[in-house]
Amino acid sequence: MINTWLLKPAELILKGDNRKSFEGTLKNNIHILLSSVGSGIKTKYTSGRYYIHAPCEYAEKIENVLSHLIGISGWAKTETCEKNEEAVIKACVEEGKKLFKNGIKTFKIDARRTDKSFPLTSYELCCKAGEAVTNAVSSLKVDIHNPQDVIRIEIREKALVYSGGKKGCGGLPVGTAGRGMLLLSGGIDSPVAGFLMASRGMNIDAIHFHAYPYTSLEAKQKVISLAKITGAYCMGIRLYILNFTKVQMKIKERAPFPWTTILLRMAMMEAAQKAAQKIKCKCLITGESLSQVASQTIENLTCTQSRLSLPVLRPLIGFSKEDIIKKAKQTGTFDTSIQPYHDCCTLFSPPHPVLHGKIQEANFYYEKLELESLIDEALKNYEMVK
């Protein structure tokens, strides 16, 4: 048996002249993701909707792909029926029975008719179908304003009837907004930052700095897991893993202790920029949020980006921790992020860090450290996980 899924693109309606290329990228992304599911899957794009036709044994895998697909506002498994009043209403009654079985008590009908030759208007279709469903399943009630589920009818090239539509990730298709380098730690924030930039259409590469043996192998593995979860939304992520132990040791030995956090961030940014430029990333992305911790005051953020030529995008800058956690739970990174393996050793964290660093002072200490050769060494010996 063949199942059909209907996908509604998000935001594309807004994109004027770019629309064709956005649609093409979304189509391409759908193809790439479905090719990993199996063979015999057909797709079609017509009148602003994408359709997937696939053997029913792929249903679970396809729904997993769709729940990670950036660029669609919603999707649903649909039934195709003959394009006449009787068949459409019969299909609605079947949907009504399904809703009742699933414990739904209130519903409404939503009808759309792009084929204007269909004899009933959308409103007439809603009324007739609603009445037929309530007659057939007497315990289902219509609630126009706050229904538990919606039976949707679309009269297009074919007639489609479905309920239980799912909300998609939204956003713009990955691959429409250039490439960015995400500084990925093992915390809660940076995977969310990567997801948010991918939702604006950006391809994401990631870089992680560890300090083995001061940080554990489990901490590194945790970051790989976070990249994998985030990568499912981003059409894949290349994660560059760098050993920064020598850089951190030198900062610890030579710089005033309260300055070490800012100086380490400056070194990470410099290394990330060098890596980014090699692989044509146009910006750096971090999970920083204003005033969340000492290194994220406006003065310290200014210090850490002061030597860079690439822009630093901080999509979480105005988010509360609560909002970030909510997003991390939605995207599925939260449970991994809170595993107790830390990406930073307390040995390197000053008890009283500088809160409002001055750029001149930060650069004075930074230049005195002469970190360039250690940064280049770390960059040369990277490990890459796709």
Residues of this chain that interact with ligand ATP (CB under 6 A) are: 183-185, 187-190, 208-209, 268, 286-288, 292-293, 295, 343
Q: Which two tokens stand for residue 164?
A: 């239980």
- Residue 288 interacts with, from Mg ion, ligand ATP, none (CB under 5-8 Å by kind): ligand ATP
- Residue 287 interacts with, from Mg ion, ligand ATP, none (CB under 5-8 Å by kind): ligand ATP
Nearer to ligand ATP, 35 or 291 (CB): 291
Nearer to ligand ATP, 7 or 182 (CB): 182
- Residue 154 interacts with, from Mg ion, ligand ATP, none (CB under 5-8 Å by kind): none
Q: What is the dihedral of CA 129, 131, 132, 133, to 10 degrees?
A: 90
Residue 113 near residue 161, CB atoms below 8 Å: no
Cα 161 versus chain centre, distance: 29
The minimum distance between CB 184 and ligand ATP, in angstroms, equals: 5
Nearer to Mg ion, 43 or 216 (CB): 216
72-81 and 159-162 as β-strands: parallel, antiparallel, unpaired?
Answer: antiparallel
Q: Which two tokens stand for residue 47?
A: 């009148």
Residue partners of 33: CB distance under 8 A and separation at least 6:
65, 68, 69, 235
- Residue 4 interacts with, from ligand ATP, Mg ion, none (CB under 5-8 Å by kind): none
| Binding-site string for Mg ion from residue 158 to residue 197, where x marks contact by CB under 5 A and - marks none | ---------------------------x-x----------
What CA–CA distances, in Å, run from 242 to 2, 28, 105, 194, 283? 47, 32, 55, 19, 19
Nearer to ligand ATP, 70 or 184 (CB): 184
- Residue 130 interacts with, from ligand ATP, Mg ion, none (CB under 5-8 Å by kind): none
The minimum distance between CB 71 and ligand ATP, in angstroms, equals: 24
Q: How far apart are the first and last CA of the chain?
A: 35
